[in-house]
Amino acid sequence: MADNTITVVGNITRDPELKFLNSGQAAVRLSIAVNRRWQNRQTQEWEERVSYFEVTGYGAMAENAANSLAKGTRVIVSGRLEQRSWETENGDKRSIVEINADEIAPSLRFATAVVTKTPRAEGSNFSSGSSSDRPAPRTNEPSSHAFDEEPF
């Protein structure tokens, strides 16, 4: 089975945007910049390349990310690559490849964090009272496609 799991570490380039889908499910969108720096062996000069990734996340994770993270925060994002397409008002076709996040967390390499557990809602994805308390299988997919307008 093919898998397109990706993990990136980078800095948030703008404050996370939280919105709620028609189904009531929370959705967050953020962008991260991943810097790569190396020394050119021929010139001995330092070179740098920056890659930008759009990230979407859903549910409680979306709300927690929007309430906990801000522009400039170094984060670790794990998820899968997904492509989506749309048509502009002028009829131009556009598409983007973005990361649909399974996990979003602050990086502790250069910072500290205080973790506060959020209370579990009735009917959450977790069993109660079990010593294993593992998440139930989830698809992390909204009932309709997440952000149906143009990305930033």
Domain spans, the chain: 1-39+46-152
Q: Are 107 and 10 in contact (CB under 8 A)?
A: no
Distances (CA, A) of 123 to 59, 127, 150: 13, 9, 33
**Fold classification of 1-39+46-152 (topology level):** OB fold (Dihydrolipoamide Acetyltransferase, E2P) (2.40.50)
Q: What is the pLDDT along the chain (152 residues), one digit of tens a residue?
A: 568 899 999 999 999 999 999 999 999 999 999 999 999 999 999 999 999 999 999 999 999 999 999 999 999 999 999 999 999 999 999 999 999 999 999 999 989 988 888 887 665 554 334 333 333 334 444 434 445 544 44
Q: Is 108 helix (H, G, I), strand (E, B) or coil?
A: coil
CA distance 21 to 144: 8
Could you say which DSSP state residue 126 is in?
Answer: B
